[in-house]
């Protein structure tokens, strides 16, 4: 049996350098060596948040709750709600003169290093040093990592998810060795996680709480002492982060966060199970929008599952600590897999707070860590002399599996020059992403409309924390001169006017703003509709000062964090004792670490110098969309016949669905000409006869891009998800596509406003329940259909007829329903039609329960309805077997009296 590493002490371990070296090739593929901002989705947003923190730090404000330059210079409470952790640390460097882009790239690289180092340390809790390297590789080489680095570019999320494994490691150490130092380390790491990325902390902090108790209980003895230690660390960590989470939670009602959150449709962000457990797929570089397929990593899943088999084997001797972590990890991995699929929607809806996570695929960060114990303990079955080679081979396999993802997909930004707060406003003008966010979720609630006018980049080129006057509202006889104020987070003005007037500021109101007029506190007025601050001034000359002072809740949060920080210092300092924590690195470790560093550098050179510039190995690119299953080439034209769009083809997950099921459809579009109209794409599953939609997906920006931005030399991947409700009938419906403008005519396909792709069967049995008022009967047509009941009731000037069917076996052909009106035994008219207009009988399936419903208006003085079934081509009536004797059957048809 291999003893697990359960000591809480630290020692210099050369294998940490080996683990760190695994990240070198990935870091080399980033733009760190170029020094340019990557062209990822969120890179600019984080650059804005970084400069906001630097601007506040230059004025002595540690927590950048308010950014005066953001949102076109109207101000924005960004740091009060979006976790500012690494932005503060990086902002200190920017404030000291380090270029902002370089700081962002360095923190991205540091974020990557968190994974192999944390994965290694966590794995060392269970296994030997060599096997623990596999844990480092699993943590680093998860496919999600490359989405973050090369596509999304959310540095906060990258660092936050990297801290998860560190937090679990720290709480495990705290449980195994409940000492002051381990308590402080665990609390500091938990606080760092909370302060780095709040969506990640929404699920990682509860996980850390549960794991801390689990680890304390799983330890061998003194469980009360261990439990007390982890609970103290947990509480201390929460208090350390109170400066952020207390105002963020209690002041959230001051912003329009719910309106912005409603823009995210949870069902659009679930992942199919086959994608989660499948092989990594290379992004399609021929598309305008790169679609990433979220995978858990098949290799990691297999290793973790095999580790579970080992843990359950009585032949392999494991400690309770080891076995408990393997089995709990596999259970947690299974829960994460389920929670990321659409089947778990009920769970997300049952826990409203879970929607803070926004994207279920974020749980991949937990799943990866959960697989580490099983994967590394699997190495116990490998003989010691072969273990290093097996681990090295498995790391190579994991590395090869993610090679299709290990390349930048977007060109780096051109040289930005010196980045200042003015750069944020210039980006806002260009992109429309105001306030350092993409959905304007933190717009103060007093702003009924977004103020998106009069941007002034030049106002913030000098890194000054300033507030300006809204010149558009100044009367002609007013003069305003900016002066030095007493408060660094605001501005002062000398104002003179011959008339009283209202001085409106170019800054939105938010709790915490203060104002004085001639040294006396003044009431801030909130103007409509933009929620701007204003003060009323009498005629004459006055001195006005406005500044952001913060709220009591913010100050309370700061105080709690300071108290907790003092507690951490006290735990470490009193009583002051010296302890040797770090020893020498063994000489053998130096050799292994040196070889690993050299090998990683060589791999990085090959990747960056050979593969990237000269070949397209491992990367999809071409004129035909990768993964497209059905080619079409259908052209959509405007009312004048001018071609606008081409539907290249589509991919559909299935053509058979059930109620409460999900259908995944991907459309592939290409603009045939530069488009001057914003087109919407609507995909619907509709009743073939009535065209009533059973489910629909409507995209105002197909593929995430307005059609006004579509080039003609790239195609667009437009993913739709349709969910069927519980009341969707068990029919066959048409999957139809419609392209339309909000104000204008739709695009046409051969003069038709919609295109039918194919039919989709709703594979349901239906219900065998019968309403209380229905007349029970037992009529068997041929040997394939039973009429179980009917209902014939008055409805206005006519009748409503309902027939309740049970399909005994698949019908042999298409049948029509004979509906003839009778008067004193004479046929006086008919209303023949299909039993279900949108569902021909040849599509009916054995075991289904169906309902036909007709609104019928008979001729005058009609006294009976004569009905039956007949074959369309032959007009041959289906034989009727009347098994209950309740009705009159005449010539294989049933006679129903109307009275």
Q: What is the DSSP string of 314-377?
A: TTS---HHHHHHHHHHHHHHHHHHHHTSGGGHHHHHH-GGGGGG--GGGGHHHHHHHHHHHHHH
Dig out the tokens for 648 from the structure: 């290249």
CB-based contact 136:16 (threshold 8 Å): no
Q: Quickly tell me which residue has 């201390």 as its tokens.
A: 236
DSSP letters, 364-399, are: HHHHHHHHHHHHHHGGGGS-HHHHHHHHHHHHHHHH
Cis, bond preceding 259 (omega within 30 deg of 0): no
CB-based contact 514:523 (threshold 8 Å): no
Whether the per-residue pLDDT at 772 is higher than 90: the answer is no
Contacts of 626 (CB under 8 A, 6+ apart): 282, 284, 286, 620
pLDDT bracket for residue 494 (50, 70, 90): very high
Whether the per-residue pLDDT at 390 is higher than 60: the answer is yes
Average of pLDDT values for 780-809? 91
Whether the per-residue pLDDT at 97 is higher than 70: the answer is yes
Q: What is the pLDDT of residue 580?
A: 47
Q: What is the pLDDT of residue 765?
A: 82
Q: What is the pLDDT of residue 251?
A: 94
C-alpha 60/C-alpha 75 separation (Å) is 18
What are φ and ψ of residue 826, in 5° steps? -105, 140
Q: What is the pLDDT of residue 6?
A: 43
3-state secondary structure of 732: strand
> pTM of the predicted model, to two decimals?
0.87
Whether the per-residue pLDDT at 237 is higher than 80: the answer is yes
Whether the per-residue pLDDT at 210 is higher than 90: the answer is yes
Question: How many other C-beta atoms are found inside a 10 Å radius of the C-beta of residue 358?
Answer: 14
Contacts of 586 (CB under 8 A, 6+ apart): 14
Give tens-digit pLDDT for 539-574: 999 999 999 999 999 999 999 999 999 999 988 886
Strands (E), 742-834: 755-762, 775-781, 785-795, 798-807, 815-823, 826-830
pLDDT bracket for residue 613 (50, 70, 90): low
C-alpha 18/C-alpha 406 separation (Å) is 20
pLDDT bracket for residue 411 (50, 70, 90): confident
């Amino acid at each position: 049996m291999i003893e697990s590493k359960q000591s809480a002490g630290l020692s210099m371990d050369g294998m940490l350098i080996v683990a760190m070296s695994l990240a070198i090739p990935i870091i080399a593929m980033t733009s760190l060596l170029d020094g340019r901002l990557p062209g990822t989705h969120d890179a600019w947003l984080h650059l804005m948040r970084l400069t906001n923190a630097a601007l506040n730090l230059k004025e002595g404000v540690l927590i950048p709750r308010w950014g005066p330059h953001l949102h076109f210079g109207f101000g924005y409470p960004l740091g009060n709600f979006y976790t500012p952790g690494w932005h503060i640390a990086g902002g200190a460097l920017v404030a000291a003169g380090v270029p902002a882009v370089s700081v962002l790239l360095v923190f991205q690289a540091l974020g990557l290093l968190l994974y192999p180092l944390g994965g290694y340390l966590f794995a060392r809790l269970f296994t030997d040093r060599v096997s623990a390297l596999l844990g480092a590789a699993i943590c680093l080489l998860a496919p999600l990592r490359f989405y973050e680095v090369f596509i999304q570019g959310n540095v906060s999320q990258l660092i936050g998810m990297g801290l998860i494994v560190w937090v679990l490691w720290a709480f495990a150490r705290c449980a195994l060795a409940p000492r002051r130092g381990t308590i402080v380390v665990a609390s500091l790491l938990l606080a760092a996680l909370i302060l780095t990325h709040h969506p990640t902390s929404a699920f990682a902090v509860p996980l850390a709480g549960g794991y801390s108790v689990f680890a304390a209980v799983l330890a061998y003895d003194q469980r009360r002492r261990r439990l007390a230690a982890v609970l103290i660390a947990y509480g201390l960590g929460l208090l350390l982060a109170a400066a952020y989470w207390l105002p963020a939670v209690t002041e959230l009602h001051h912003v329009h966060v719910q309106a912005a959150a409603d823009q995210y449709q949870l069902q659009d962000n679930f992942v199919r199970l086959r994608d989660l457990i499948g092989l990594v797929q290379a992004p399609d570089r021929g598309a305008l929008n790169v679609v990433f397929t979220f995978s858990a990593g098949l290799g990691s899943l297999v290793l973790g599952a095999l580790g579970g088999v080992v843990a359950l084997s009585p032949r392999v001797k494991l400690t309770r600590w080891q076995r408990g972590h393997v089995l709990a990890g596999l259970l947690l991995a299974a829960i994460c897999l389920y929670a990321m699929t659409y089947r778990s929607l009920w769970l997300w809806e049952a826990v409203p707070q879970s929607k803070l996570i926004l994207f279920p695929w974020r749980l991949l960060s937990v799943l990866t860590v959960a697989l580490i114990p099983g994967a590394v303990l699997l190495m116990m079955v490998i003989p010691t002399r072969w273990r290093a080679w097996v681990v090295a081979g498995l790391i190579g396999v994991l590395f090869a599996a993610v090679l299709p993802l290990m390349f930048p997909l977007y060109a780096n930004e051109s040289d930005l020059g010196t980045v200042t707060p003015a750069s944020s406003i210039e980006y806002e003008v260009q992109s429309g992403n105001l306030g350092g966010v993409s959905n304007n979720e933190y717009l103060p609630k007093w702003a009924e409309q977004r103020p998106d006018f009069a941007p002034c980049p030049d106002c913030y080129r000098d890194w000054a924390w300033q507030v300006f006057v809204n010149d558009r509202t100044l009367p002609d006889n007013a003069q305003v001169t900016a002066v030095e104020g007493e408060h660094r987070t605001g501005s002062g003005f000398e104002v003179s006017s011959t008339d009283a007037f209202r001085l409106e500021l170019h800054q939105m109101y938010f709790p915490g703003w203060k104002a004085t007029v001639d040294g006396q506190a003044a009431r801030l007025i909130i103007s409509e509709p933009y929620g701007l601050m204003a003060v009323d001034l009498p005629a004459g000359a006055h001195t006005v000062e406005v500044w952001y002072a913060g709220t009591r809740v913010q100050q309370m949060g700061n105080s709690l964090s300071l108290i907790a920080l003092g507690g951490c210092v006290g735990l470490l300092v009193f009583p002051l004792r010296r302890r040797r924590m770090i020893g020498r690195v063994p000489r053998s470790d130096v050799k292994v670490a040196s070889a690993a560093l050299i090998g990683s550098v060589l791999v990085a050179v090959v990747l960056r110098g050979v593969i990237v510039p000269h070949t397209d190995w491992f990367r999809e690119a071409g004129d035909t969309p990768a993964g497209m299953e059905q080619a079409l080439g259908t052209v959509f034209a405007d009312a004048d016949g001018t071609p606008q769009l081409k539907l290249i083809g589509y991919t559909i997950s299935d053509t058979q669905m059930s109620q409460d099921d999900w259908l995944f459809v991907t459309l592939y579009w290409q603009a045939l000409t530069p488009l001057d109209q914003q087109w919407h794409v609507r995909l619907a599953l509709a009743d073939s006869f009535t065209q009533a939609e059973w489910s629909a997906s409507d995209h105002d920006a197909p593929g995430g891009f307005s059609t006004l931005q579509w080039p003609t030399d790239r195609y667009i991947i437009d993913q739709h998800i349709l969910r069927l409700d519980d009341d969707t009938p068990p029919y066959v419906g048409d999957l139809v596509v419609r392209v339309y403008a909000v104000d204008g005519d739709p695009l046409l396909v051969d003069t038709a406003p919609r295109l039918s792709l194919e039919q989709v069967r709703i594979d349901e049995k239906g219900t065998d329940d019968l309403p209380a008022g229905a007349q029970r009967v037992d009529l068997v047509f041929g040997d394939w259909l039973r009429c179980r009941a009917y209902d014939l009731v008055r409805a206005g000037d006519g009748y409503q007829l309902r027939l309740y069917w049970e399909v005994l076996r698949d019908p042999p052909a298409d049948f029509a329903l004979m509906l003839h009106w009778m008067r004193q035994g004479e046929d006086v008219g008919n209303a023949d039609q299909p039993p279900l207009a949108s569902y021909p009988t040849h599509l009916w399936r054995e075991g289904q329960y169906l309902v036909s419903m007709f609104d019928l208006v008979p001729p005058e003085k009609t006294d009976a309805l004569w009905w039956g079934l007949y074959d369309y081509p032959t007009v041959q009536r289906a034989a009727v077997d009347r098994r209950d004797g309740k009705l009159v059957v005449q010539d294989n048809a049933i006679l129903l009296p109307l009275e």
